[in-house]
Amino acid sequence: MYPCICDCICIKTIQRIKTIQRIAEKSVYLRLMVEIGTDIGKAAEHLKAGRLVAIPTETVYGLAGNALDDRAVATIFSVKNRPRFDPIIVHITGLAQAARHTTDIPQKARALAEAFWPGPLTLLLKKNETIPDLVTAGFPEVGLRAPAHPLTQALLEQLPFPLAAPSANPFGYISPTRPEHVNEQLGDKIAYILDGGPCTIGIESTIIGFDGDGQAILHRLGGLSVNQVEAIIGKVIIRTNASSDPRAPGQLKSHYAPAKPLIIGDIDTMLAAYDPNDVAVLSFRKSYDLPYQTVLSEVGDIEEAARNLFAAMRMLEKMPVKLILAEFVPDEGLGKAINDRLMRASAKG
């Protein structure tokens, strides 16, 4: 039998995309500007000296500095070009260290930490005087989380201080999920990249705060689903509206954005309005006969889609196209967090 013409087109398309990927990956390594390795001791020495190190977590790579040192924290803001009104999450070893930097840990917060730390959960808790106001953008609460990556856990155990660590990328841009993503964007501005391989979750942590009555408030959708949280502490109030004065990270309307414009909608409908050579497609599970596209999960797995989201956006923005067409994923579980990132990526700054 002769091969189907459609099969030939698909094979050529796949080969073309793989070639573009290889060229892009090669160009990243040619621009290598900082050492990438797994030496925890070296990372610790840089951090003790006030320098910045990229650290792996299960969610995304973080740009880490001494959270108790104003100068190191100020350098984080400068390197990321991050506005000073946007607070930074602090990474800790667990509840014992959290108690050293807070005035109170509500019962529900303790229950969540016991259930999900280490893991993709950030708790907003009343800070004490050890945490600089610069870290929290002047707010009385600090975001604390214990990351679930063995290298970063070991690193935190070696340090006499917690780590302030927002995502290791220029402010507002796609979060990094691999060490090469960090190197490509910030390699000439930091001391070391601790290589923990690809992130296993791929989207940022869920942020939970508490009001004066102890009611849990969800400020950011993330790697821990609402259902998982509510299974431990009961009903939470979801308050993730875009803000120009955010109480927690990731609340700005425009965020996680690729360099190319991203439009969300029904892909089949949008394709009828554009030249297929001008667009790249980011789909949940359906494959299209197009030169530039990526599928988040061919089997419709939401967790796989979350892991692939930021890397896919980075790949598509490098394609020779004018814009990216994307679609929402099922709005359940981690799908809610994926859709949140897509909405913010598509918003105009």
Domains of the chain: 36-203 (3.90.870.10), 262-346 (3.40.50.11030)
Residue type, 72: A
What confidence tens digit (pLDDT) does each residue in 235-248 have? 999 998 654 445 56
What is the pLDDT at residue 85? 87
Measured distance CA(325)–CA(249) in Å, rounded: 26
Measured distance CA(349)–CA(329) in Å, rounded: 23
Q: Is the pLDDT at 274 greater than 90, yes or no? A: yes
Distances (CA, A) of 191 to 42, 44, 67: 10, 11, 17
Q: Is the pLDDT at 332 greater than 90, yes or no? A: yes
Residue 10 or 184, more confident: 184
What is the pLDDT at residue 347? 79
- Please compute the mean of the pLDDT values over residues 250-278 and round it to a whole number: 84
Q: What is the mean pLDDT of the chain?
A: 89
Which pTM was predicted? 0.85
- Please compute the mean of the pLDDT values over residues 319-341 and round it to a whole number: 95
Q: Is the pLDDT at 4 greater than 50, yes or no? A: no
What is the pLDDT at residue 20? 44
**Res. 172 pLDDT band, cuts 50 70 90:** confident
Q: Which residues contact 189 (CB under 8 A, 6 or more apart)?
A: 52, 79
Residue 130 or 252, more confident: 130
CA-angle at 347, arms to 189 and 339, nearest 5° = 95
Q: Give the helix/strand (H/E) hosting 65.
A: strand 62-66
